Copies of this chain bind each other. A is one copy, B any other.
Amino acid sequence: MRIERERLERYRHLKREFREDKCINLNPIQRGGVLTPEAREALLEFGDGYSTCDWCPPKTARLDKIERPPIADFYEDLAKFLGMDVARVVTRCREAKFIAFRMLGEPGDYVVVDSLAHYSTYIAAELARLRVKEVPNSGHPEFRVDLDAYAEKTEEVRRETGKPPALVVLTHVDSYYGNMNDARRVAEIAHEHGVPFLLNAAYTAGVMPVDGKELGADIIVSSGHKSWAASAPTGILAMTSEMAERILRPSSIKGDLSERSFGVKELALLGCTVMGAPLLSLMASFPHVVKRVENWPEEVEKARWLVGQLERIEGTRQLGVRPKEHTLIHIESEGFFRVSQTHRRRGFFLYEELRERGIVGIQPGLTKHFKLNTYGLPWEKVRTVAEAFLEIAKRHRLSVG
């Protein structure tokens, strides 16, 4: 039970090497989660344990009922911003998916998902005791999801099980190629088949305008720490009123002796969810987020410009649908890969030479395929990134067009 003193001391002053003020970080999962100054203030103000719960109303004791700080209002505004009726902040986007799956499905039911869904979509289904049926994509180099196949797959489930799938799930923008999918098309198919449609907007809501009503979504899930300038862990679960009745169903368990029951608590939320600092960081960044989504066209422009620069390098091209409609970029580089094969540091040279130039976030060791994200970087830093790649290419005698 005794822990060595030196080991303990290491935990006291935890430092981050890649702090936003110290480098240009291209990590694909991190660009949308950089805090606003307001969020940083909120973290300190509400850092202490259960400090959001000072004014929890005794009779309806639930996070979403708290008015000081204005959590109840925020949930309303959050729903409105996403064009939905009801919103809750949960611990992660993956938990939001699990909650929807658990409450809308029975063990053994299917969810139909795109084959580029994040791993957590599959695991959330598994934890809810559901099965997945995948919708194919076109493979290399576009990896375009075949949206029309949602109809066929939904019917396949019906033939196989005698009932429709519990949900149809679409990843709005996937985490591999940053491809944008037409949510309206999938919503139509889902509704023709009478199946609720869940849109995973982890990479879209919070960085670009997403209106669930317009897109026909019954449920939108998103990630606060990925795309809403919030601290982890924060997930967003927004729904139509109809879905909210099923997904936010109150607890109905009863103590067999005590007859205690907890009808005021939302079952799948286990009562309360993010009762602390990350929720407050999400709230504090919200005014900024509402505004920043309007800048989306320029964010895409920066990504396209960078792709153009990188593709000047011999044997280098962007994978996924062209031109980019999102800031998450997947690069395939036969050129850098060739360099890695004779370099003494193998594939690590690229990471290391970028790092010398103050650029991080490309996965160490990768050259043939790597991902990056330009979201929120000012033009000046995007230019620095382009120059760094071009310099490294030239240094290793790759031709630059």
Contacting pair B34 A49 (CB below 8 A): yes
Q: Which stretch in A25-33, A189-197, A331-339, A386-394 binds the other chain?
A: A25-33
How far apart are the CA atoms of A262 and B38 in the complex, in Å?
37
Q: Which stretch in A39-47, A180-188, A238-246 binds the other chain?
A: A39-47
Contact of A77 among B8, B134, B211, B232 (CB under 8 A): B8
Provide the residues of chain B in CB contact with A225, threshold 8 Å. 49-50, 275-276
Provide the residues of chain B in CB contact with A267, threshold 8 Å. 123, 126-127
Cβ-based interface call for A260 (8 A): yes
Provide the residues of chain B in CB contact with A2, threshold 8 Å. 80
- For chain A, the count of residues having a C-beta within 8 Å of the partner chain is 112
How far apart are the CA atoms of A226 and B273 in the complex, in Å?
14
Provide the residues of chain B in CB contact with A9, threshold 8 Å. 287
Contacting pair A286 B232 (CB below 8 A): no
A294 CB, min distance to chain B CBs, angstroms: 12
A19 CB, min distance to chain B CBs, angstroms: 7
Contacting pair A277 B280 (CB below 8 A): no
A274-B232, A278-B277 known; A30 vs B8 contact (CB < 8 Å): no
Residues of chain A from 350 to 364 with CB closer than 8 A to chain B in the complex: 360, 363-364
Contact of A281 among B41, B47, B120, B363 (CB under 8 A): B47
Report the nearest B residue to A90, measured CB to CB: B91
Cβ-based interface call for A322 (8 A): no
Contacting pair B124 A256 (CB below 8 A): no
Report the nearest B residue to A287, measured CB to CB: B8
Contacting pair A50 B232 (CB below 8 A): yes
Provide the residues of chain B in CB contact with A232, threshold 8 Å. 49-50, 52, 274-278
A134-B256, A253-B125 known; A271 vs B51 contact (CB < 8 Å): no
A259 CB, min distance to chain B CBs, angstroms: 10
How far apart are the CA atoms of A30 and B275 in the complex, in Å?
12
Contact of A47 among B7, B43, B107, B262 (CB under 8 A): B43
The contact string, 1 if C-beta is below 8 Å from chain B, for chain A 10-42, is 111111111110000001011011110011111
A9 CB, min distance to chain B CBs, angstroms: 7
Contact of A34 among B38, B48, B107, B134 (CB under 8 A): B48
A270-B92, A276-B278 known; A14 vs B42 contact (CB < 8 Å): yes
A50-B33, A252-B126 known; A233 vs B274 contact (CB < 8 Å): yes
Q: Which stretch in A65-73, A297-305, A307-315 binds the other chain?
A: A65-73
Report which residue of A47, A68, A133 has the largest number of chain B beta carbons within 10 angstroms of its beta carbon. Answer: A47
A162 CB, min distance to chain B CBs, angstroms: 18
The contact string, 1 if C-beta is below 8 Å from chain B, for chain A 85-115, is 0000001101100100010000100000001
A123-B251, A251-B122 known; A32 vs B14 contact (CB < 8 Å): no
Provide the residues of chain B in CB contact with A252, threshold 8 Å. 126
Q: Which 4 A-B pairs have the closest CB atoms?
A: A33-B49, A232-B276, A49-B225, A126-B253
17 A-B contacts, Cβ less than 8 Å apart? Answer: A1-B83, A3-B77, A3-B290, A14-B280, A27-B54, A30-B50, A33-B51, A35-B48, A43-B277, A49-B229, A50-B232, A120-B270, A120-B271, A122-B255, A123-B253, A231-B277, A277-B278
Q: Known pairs A19-B48, A133-B256. 5 more at Cβ < 8 A?
A: A49-B231, A91-B273, A132-B253, A231-B276, A232-B277
